[in-house]
Amino acid sequence: MSIERELSKRSGSKCELCGAEENLKIYQVLPTKKGGIDEAILACNTCIDQIENPDDVDLNHWRCLNDSMWNENIPVQVVSWRMLSRLRSAGWPQELLDMMYLDDDTLEWAKATGEGEDEENKLVHKDSNGVILQHGDSVVLIKDLKVKGSSMVAKQGTAVRNIRLDHENAEYIEGKVDGQQIVIITQYVKKI
């Protein structure tokens, strides 16, 4: 059975966040380890657009989290926690966060993208031009890089897709170059 069909069955063919029934698609909850239904939700375009574009958030749309935060499926809980954390300055989201309980592993996954951290403590990954990088972005190498521990040289102009951020060091990202997962220093990449 396909992931979309399993998610549709699990959600009753509705957005697992707001309950919308149209324009539904799979949303992978980053960072993923294995992929699949245990790391994804079925969400509408409106929810996905607002998750991915924090500047375009309609606060009233997210009142639906009052219900979805109690969903039994962990990926839905994680996204609910992240959105409540992002919106907590509005008052009511903080009240919902105070009621919400996540076990330690789920809370660690929810915090993995930096949501819920105070802005001054949050690691911000920036490319060579100062553009903020996020999980899943694509970058291009701006110079040839010798890969430590191998004879491989990652050539200037190589595109690295679906990067992952190092959550302990703002200067490091991870990505695949020529099929090999490597760590790249952010000052040698440019977001595309």
What token pair was written down for 163? Answer: 């990067």
pLDDT for 119 equals 53
Query: What pLDDT, on a 0 to 100 scale, did the predictor assign at position 174?
Result: 92
Which of the two residues, 119 and 182, has the higher pLDDT score? 182
**CA nearest neighbour of 181 among 159, 163, 169:** 163
Percent of the chain residues past pLDDT 70, beyond the cut: 96
User: Which of 39-43, 130-134, 154-158 is predicted with the least confidence, judged by mean pLDDT?
Assistant: 130-134
Tens-digit pLDDT profile for residues 110-126: 998 877 665 555 678 89
What single string gives the DSSP state of each residue in 31-65? Answer: SPSS-SGGGEEEEEHHHHHHHH-GGG--GGGGGGH
Distance CA 82, CA 51 (A): 9
pLDDT at 155: 92
Model confidence band, residue 42 (pLDDT cutoffs 50, 70, 90): very high
Binning pLDDT at 50, 70 and 90, where does residue 166 land? confident
Instruction: Return the structure tokens found at 61.
Output: 């749309």
pLDDT at position 170, please? 87
Query: What domains does the chain contain, in order, with CATH numbers?
Result: 3-120 (no CATH), 139-191 (2.30.30)
pLDDT digits (tens, 9 = 90+) for 69-127: 999 999 999 999 999 999 988 899 999 999 999 999 999 999 988 776 655 556 788 99
Query: Rounded to whole angstroms, how far apart are CA atoms 151 and 106?
Result: 39
Distance CA 43, CA 97 (A): 21
